[in-house]
Amino acid sequence: MQFGEVTALTALALFVTVLTTFLTVAWLPPVAASSPDAAALYARHCASCHGADRLGGIGPALLPGNLKRLRRGAAASVIAEGRPATQMAGFSHVLDAAAVDALVALIYTPLDKLPHFGMPEIERTRVVHRPLDTLGDAPVFAADPLSLFIVVEQGDHHATVLDGDRLEPLHRFPTRFALHGGPKFSPDGRFVYLASRDGWITQYDLYELAPVAEIRAGINTRNLAVSDDGRYVLVGNYLPHTLTLLDARELVPLAVIPVRNRAGETSRVSAVYTAPPRGTFVVALKDLPEVWEIAYRESSPKGFAAGGERTGGGLALRRIELPGILDDFFFDAGYAHLIGASREGFGQVVELDSGRAIVDIDLPGLPHLGSGITWEVDGRTVLATPNLKEGVVSVIDTATWRTVKRIETLGPGFFMRSHENSRYAWVDVFFGPHRDAVHVIDKASLEIVETLRPTPGKTAAHVEFTRDGRHALLSIWDRDGAVVVYDAATLKEVRRFPMDKPSGKYNVYNKITRSRGTSH
């Protein structure tokens, strides 16, 4: 079947679905308020788009883990009134308040058992929009492709391609519902890979500004990682308890890897990372005291036993057993050590060559190591991380693993960023009454030198620097939001772009070169 035929069939299916929904809303008699049967209501009004088992279809999966960004009150409004710019119609004409409440209670109820979503199910979802052999060799625009940003706009599920040199938007395109985990790039920066909470993985070409391929790799996905040789994409799932290995070139599924220990107990995947110097993926597990390392090169690094365990897809698997569960990670510059934190309030340093936890570190509260950064202070490398529960930034010497300083902030923070060419590190105050503030820290003195409030009363978050470090871009995390551009030296606002809840900005060059001032 040709791409044009697939597109036509997809359009026809969408038309039939929308027409059916319209007729249902317009002509079905109202449901009585006496004793609503949630299962019957779901089967009648929701299953055609969201799947009979709530695992998703044309519409997103309706499960508690997939709905974390949608509060129950908002969910009730969506059911009753619909959602603009989507296929979701309102049902207030046929469902009274009791029926809506019954549906809300149902979709926030966990499934009785772990669903199956294996290779046949994954393969059926794959769509190739533009085969790689049909793509041109040069960008269709004049900007430097390595200076681009991808700006994720959560409000209406779009992404904007921003020219980081001219500081101007180039292109805007629709994304899958609720992107999650941050975009990742191919080693040359040409392709960006996007993961949605519903498990949809999109390969997008930043030269031709068009999608290449899409596939659904899980039901509830945390994030993805791309191997530094450009061969593989590894997807970590909350639901089911699996990893999905894809060919990075057109998202061909290669293997579904069950995540279980030797006793058969399964786990959600907290996150997947790439450790380029080691040629491995590192996998954080939510429910088991293990870290997995999966080698994607033929020659495995230290720590892998010859003839050891293999995953589906034939990659070498190494289990690093730990005293406790670590579900948030950071790596030192050489990827020799993994620094992990638990939700129980302890941190550990794991030496990857030996596979041993070598020291406990002072990381109280809930440090957000996934947003940690490093820089040099008086000839030593320090790691700095915000804290999701406490108003503090912890600064740790990576030679001794001792706390150098705890920088008090106005509240718990989510993201911390800097750049090799900047004297400052920026940290937001994402949680609490001061969420409209962002602190600027002098990296030499470890003191807050400025507190900015870009839009009083609206959440300020997620700073990211341009390729040269001259400008810092900050998000106003609101439906009526913006990306605000600052001069990184003077800390003065340069300009701002209106955007629909821009949740994050990701610079191609800084990501593919693994800048120490940003997350990887």
Q: In whole angstroms, how far apart are CA 210 and each of 216, 217, 371?
A: 18, 20, 29
Instruction: Find tokens 């036509």 and name the residue.
Output: 8
**Contacts of the segment 279-285: beta carbons below 8 A, 24+ positions apart:** 279/227, 279/228, 279/229, 281/225, 281/227, 281/232, 281/234, 282/329, 282/331, 282/338, 283/234, 283/236, 283/243, 283/259, 284/236, 284/326, 284/327, 284/328, 284/329, 284/340, 285/259, 285/325, 285/327
Is the model more confident about 213 or about 7? Answer: 213
Overall average pLDDT of the 346-374 stretch:
88
| From 232-241, 305-314, 466-475, the region with the lowest mean pLDDT | 305-314
Question: Considering only the top CATH level, what class is 368-520?
Answer: mainly beta
How far, in Å, CA of 463 to CA of 471, rounded? Answer: 10
Question: Contact at 8 Å (CB) between 18 and 86?
Answer: no
What is the 8-class DSSP label of residue 267?
A: -
Overall average pLDDT of the 37-58 stretch:
76
In which band, very low, low, confident or very high, does the pLDDT at 311 lie, cut at 50, 70 and 90? Answer: very high
Q: How much is the pLDDT for 35?
A: 64
Domain boundaries, the chain: 3-107, 368-520
How far, in Å, CA of 457 to CA of 241, rounded? Answer: 40
State if pTM tops 0.95: no
Q: How many CA atoms lie within 13 A of 491 on its CB side?
A: 16
The DSSP-derived string for 286-315 is SSSSEEEEEE-SSS--TTPPTT--B-TTS-
Q: How many CA atoms lie within 13 A of 292 on its CB side?
A: 32
Model confidence at 455: pLDDT above 70: yes
Model confidence at 21: pLDDT above 80: no
Angle of CA points 282, 315, 300, to nearest 5°: 70
Percent of the chain with pLDDT over 70: 91
Overall average pLDDT of the 305-330 stretch:
90
Q: Which residues of 101-241 form beta strands (DSSP E)? A: 127-128, 148-153, 158-163, 168-174, 184-185, 191-195, 200-205, 210-216, 220-226, 232-239
In which band, very low, low, confident or very high, does the pLDDT at 69 lie, cut at 50, 70 and 90? Answer: low
Q: Tell me how crowded residue 490 is: count the other CB atoms within 10 A of its CB.
A: 8
Overall average pLDDT of the 479-493 stretch:
97
| From 8-17, 69-78, 82-91, 171-180, the region with the lowest mean pLDDT | 8-17
Closest CA to 395 of 441, 336, 350, 440: 441
Model confidence at 198: pLDDT above 60: yes
Q: What is the CATH number of domain 3-107?
A: 1.10.760.10
Largest CA distance in the chain: 74
The three-state secondary structure class of 504 is strand
Q: How much is the pLDDT for 298?
A: 86
Instruction: Measure the CA dihedral 74/78/80/82, to 10°.
Output: 150
Query: Across all residues in the chain, what is the average pLDDT?
Result: 88
Model confidence at 409: pLDDT above 50: yes
Model confidence at 1: pLDDT above 50: no
Model confidence at 286: pLDDT above 80: yes
Q: How much is the pLDDT for 70?
A: 72
How far, in Å, CA of 485 to CA of 72, rounded? Answer: 34
Overall average pLDDT of the 68-94 stretch:
75
Query: How many residues are there in the chain?
Result: 520
Residues facing residue 385 across a β-bridge? 394
Burial of 472-486, coded b for 16+ CB within 10 Å and e otherwise, reads: bbbbbbbeebbbbbb
Q: How much is the pLDDT for 56?
A: 74
Overall average pLDDT of the 174-182 stretch:
91
Model confidence at 150: pLDDT above 70: yes
Sheet order of strands, 424-428 included:
416-417, 424-428, 438-442, 447-452
Closest CA to 91 of 35, 157, 44: 44
Model confidence at 25: pLDDT above 60: no
In which band, very low, low, confident or very high, does the pLDDT at 306 lie, cut at 50, 70 and 90? Answer: confident
Tens-place pLDDT, residues 123-147: 999 999 999 999 999 999 999 999 9
In which band, very low, low, confident or very high, does the pLDDT at 52 lie, cut at 50, 70 and 90? Answer: low
Overall average pLDDT of the 56-73 stretch:
73
Is the model more confident about 475 or about 63? Answer: 475
How far, in Å, CA of 151 to CA of 500, rounded? Answer: 10
